[in-house]
């Protein structure tokens, strides 16, 4: 597959030379991080090129957005390549390129990583005020490639001028779900990379309080390894926080419903876009 590039001979979107020099320290920080392997990197991509790409970020009202709206999350996702504007798609393709994936393998210590051409669950994410994503560990196997085990998440935030009071912090939680050990403000050109394990709990459970005309924007990309034996399949595992109280019951019930839905996705070969369009159709009927 030929990858589009937003880089020019003079300006590289991802500065491999500079990042390679810093790689030894970065990989030690990543692989020896507390609780689970992770790292937060600022000024991740060339700011000028990324800023230019963000000007194309499509409005959440567009017809191609998948609306993930249930008890455990309220956000939008856009993973249809044909609907992602060219400059943003070029950023995604750079981060899915063999060069970047090789760098990512070195950083994480996980060899033979492969990017997801389907952008399943990834691509562009956008959340408006009031939106949230409860704490969870991600699904472990690609829905349509049963030998692909999910290994690494790369999140790039695109929010220039984002304020602390808007919320939307990515929270990383301990494996026993007793406390968060890190909060990450989703500011422009900040990248969070972490291993996708059964107990790498993360999310932003507090509803956003940003202005109505502002949204939390990001690129989310997931990387896999192709296993020789069928990996254990676990769907997204939402978890209650210690002070969630009765809310914990609904988090659990919603998780079970989503588990059934993901099983049906694999059996019927459907995707989130199909279901989102069906739910939007029903919503329009109810509104008539």
Does 16-287 carry CATH code 2.60.120.620? yes
Residue 138 · residue 151 · CB < 8 Å: no
> Distance between CA atoms of 118 and 109, rounded to whole angstroms?
24
Residue 250 · residue 256 · CB < 8 Å: no
DSSP summary character for residue 178:
S
CA angle 83, 279, 149 (to 5 degrees): 65
Output the DSSP codes for 33-51: -SSS-EEEESS-S-HHHHH
Neighbours of 130 (CB within 10 A): 11
DSSP summary character for residue 165:
G
Neighbours of 17 (CB within 10 A): 7
Q: How far is CA 176 from the centre of its chain?
A: 22
Residue 14 pLDDT? 97
Tens-binned pLDDT, residue by residue, of the chain (288 aa): 444 555 544 579 999 999 999 999 999 999 999 999 999 999 999 999 999 999 999 999 888 999 988 999 999 999 999 999 999 999 999 999 999 999 999 999 999 999 999 999 999 999 999 999 999 999 999 988 999 999 999 999 999 999 999 999 999 999 999 999 999 999 999 999 999 999 999 999 999 999 999 999 999 999 999 999 999 998 899 999 999 999 999 999 988 887 776 666 666 666 666 656 654 554 454 444
Q: What letters, b where the CB count within 10 A reaches 16 and e where it falls short, cover 119-129?
A: bbbbbbbbbbb
Domain locations in the chain as residue ranges:
16-287
Per the document, the length of the chain is 288
Nearest C-alpha neighbor of 132 from the set 244, 56, 270: 244
SS3 content of the chain, % helix, strand, coil (to 5): 30, 25, 45
Residue 126 pLDDT? 98
Residue 254 pLDDT? 87
Residue 215 · residue 126 · CB < 8 Å: yes
Q: Rg of the chain over CA atoms, in angstroms?
A: 18
């Amino acid at each position: 597959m030929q990858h589009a590039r937003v880089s020019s001979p003079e300006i590289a979107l991802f500065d491999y030379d500079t990042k390679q020099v810093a790689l030894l320290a970065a990989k030690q920080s990543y692989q020896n991080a507390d609780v689970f392997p992770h790292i937060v990197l600022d000024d991740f991509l060339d700011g000028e090129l990324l800023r230019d790409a963000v000007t194309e970020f499509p409005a959440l009202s567009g017809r191609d957005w998948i609306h993930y709206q249930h008890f455990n999350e309220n956000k939008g996702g856009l993973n249809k390549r044909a609907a992602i504007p060219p400059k943003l798609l070029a950023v995604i393709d750079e981060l899915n390129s063999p060069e970047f994936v090789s760098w990512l393998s070195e950083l994480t210590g996980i060899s033979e990583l492969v990017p997801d051409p389907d952008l399943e669950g990834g691509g562009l994410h956008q959340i408006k005020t009031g939106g949230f994503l409860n704490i969870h560990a991600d699904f472990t196997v690609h829905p349509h490639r049963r030998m692909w085990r999910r290994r690494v998440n790369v999140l790039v935030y695109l929010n220039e001028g984002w304020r602390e009071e808007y919320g939307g912090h990515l929270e990383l939680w301990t494996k026993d779900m007793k406390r968060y050990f890190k909060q990450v403000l989703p500011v422009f050109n900040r990248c969070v990379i972490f291993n996708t394990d059964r107990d790498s709990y993360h999310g932003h459970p507090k509803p956003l309080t940003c202005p109505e005309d502002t949204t939390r924007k990001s690129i989310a990309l997931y990387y896999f390894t192709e296993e020789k034996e069928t990996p254990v399949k676990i769907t997204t595992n939402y978890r209650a926080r210690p002070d969630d109280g009765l809310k914990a019951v609904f988090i659990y019930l919603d998780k079970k419903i989503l588990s059934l839905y993901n099983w049906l996705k694999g059996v019927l070969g459907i995707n989130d876009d199909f279901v989102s369009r069906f739910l939007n159709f029903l919503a329009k009927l109810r509104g008539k």
